[in-house]
């Protein structure tokens, strides 16, 4: 058994794990994207800890409270548990874009904090996000592979690959490791 640093899949939430309906502050608005359970199972089965890193400026903007965010997070955790999946961590930034914090992506703070807390080898890890800021945060943190989930024409230059959904991006990552 490998007791050294482990690798992780860092995952944005809105638009990657769940359908992005704008600011999601109610559990009933949380809906998994198609293929997400299978994608996460493949990552888990290939030795990746599953870590969600998400900007939630709806809190800072006053659209919903921290407790509302936590209720949505519990809904996500429960939905994934229904597929036999467990997240190693869920990290969020509640700040607005102009707050100047180090935790809001594209800053790498959420990723670095999770990696330090969980003993993650960033170079052996991967980032999956649907915005340029996700890829930029992964690069800034030193994550080995960064994937863009979305249309090819929107993929940032710094992405290692892109796919229409998380499952296709996971397929690219795992094909490269075969």
Task: Write the CB contacts of 135 (distance below 8 Å, at least 6 apart in sequence).
Answer: 127, 129, 146, 147, 148, 156, 158, 159
Q: How many residues appear in the chain?
A: 178
Would you say 169 is a known binding-site residue? no
Would you say 146 is a known binding-site residue? no
Q: Is 134 a catalytic residue?
A: no
SS3 state of residue 134: helix
Catalytic residue among 12, 68, 134, 160: 12
Task: Write the CB contacts of 73 (distance below 8 Å, at least 6 apart in sequence).
Answer: 90, 92
Q: Are 15 and 130 in contact (CB under 8 A)?
A: yes
Would you say 21 is a known binding-site residue? yes
Would you say 93 is a known binding-site residue? yes
Would you say 45 is a known binding-site residue? no
Would you say 68 is a known binding-site residue? no
Catalytic residue among 14, 68, 134, 160: 14
Q: Is 165 a catalytic residue?
A: no
SS3 state of residue 33: coil
Would you say 160 is a known binding-site residue? no
Would you say 130 is a known binding-site residue? yes
- DSSP class of residue 5 equals P
Task: Point out the residues that are catalytic.
Answer: 12, 14
Annotated binding-site residue numbers for Zn(2+)? 93, 95, 101, 103
Annotated binding-site residue numbers for substrate? 12-14, 20-23, 54-57, 104-105, 131
């Amino acid at each position: 058994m490998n007791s050294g640093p482990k690798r992780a899949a860092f995952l944005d939430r809105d638009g990657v794990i769940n359908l992005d309906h704008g600011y999601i502050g109610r559990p009933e608005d949380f809906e998994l994207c198609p293929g997400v359970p299978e994608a996460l199972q493949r990552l888990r089965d290939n030795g990746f800890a599953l870590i969600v890193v998400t900007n939630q400026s709806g809190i800072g903007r006053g659209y919903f409270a921290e407790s509302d965010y936590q209720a949505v997070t519990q809904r996500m955790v429960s939905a994934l548990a229904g597929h036999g999946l467990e997240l190693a961590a869920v990290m969020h930034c509640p700040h607005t874009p102009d707050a100047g914090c180090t935790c809001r992506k594209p800053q790498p703070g959420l990723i670095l904090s999770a990696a330090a807390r969980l003993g993650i080898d960033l170079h052996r890890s991967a980032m999956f996000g649907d915005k340029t800021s996700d890829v930029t945060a992964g690069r800034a943190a030193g994550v080995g592979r960064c994937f863009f989930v979305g249309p090819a024409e929107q993929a940032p230059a710094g992405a290692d690959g892109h796919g229409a959904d998380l499952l296709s991006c996971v397929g690219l990552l795992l094909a490269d490791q075969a």
